[in-house]
Structure 1
Amino acid sequence: MSDSNQTRDVYDAIADPTRRQLLRLLADRDEIPLHELTSQFDMGRTAVSKHLGILKEAGLVIDRKVGRETRYSLNAAPLREIQDWVSFYSKFWRDRMVLLNQLLQEEQNEP
């Protein structure tokens, strides 16, 4: 984990489809109240709060109290670790495709 404030692995945090959907919703807006996030799922407020807590532990979500309401926003910085990991494999496959293309062209040029 790159950020010393993180207590949960970013990969673990995004492993769950509900948490990925929460991140997607938060990416679309600056800040979303808990009750609005809860309305997007077929689960209760407590379950959504638990998922948000996991995302918060990974540094992916920031919460802010406004009166009695909690509002959440995305902190995408920890996702850089995942982007870096995926980009390595993108290069790996791109290089393999270049090699495959070269082999296919060599086969076509053989008598």
Structure 2
Amino acid sequence: MKSFLLASFALLAACAAIAELPQERVNDGKQLAFDRNKGNCLACHAIDDGESPGNIGPPLAALKTRFKDKAQLRDQIFDATRFNPETSMPPFGRNRILTADEIDRIVDYLWSQP
């Protein structure tokens, strides 16, 4: 019984650590999105609590109503020219402006926004 309780506690502790990871990723994604030397999303988009946003692109809010899933949003950030050759949005992934992990973190942040 004691070993069962210890195993259960270890499993719960592991689950708690996993539950904290998404918020950390969301925070990292926000930092990347707001960083003028990285994602620089604010140069073109209004984002909740972002300072001095641009207005070239649409506001980055309610993205769950505009994209069917996170993968579609990720594809847009990776290379928006695939969907609109005339877009002014840089192909962040194709041009290696952001790494795949950085894009994923930004997607996690943007997807978490109301």
Fold similarity call, TM over 0.5: no
Q: Which has the larger radius of gyration?
A: 1
The TM-score, its normalising length taken from structure 1, stands at 0.31
The TM-score, its normalising length taken from structure 2, stands at 0.31
Structure whose residues are more often strand by fraction: 1
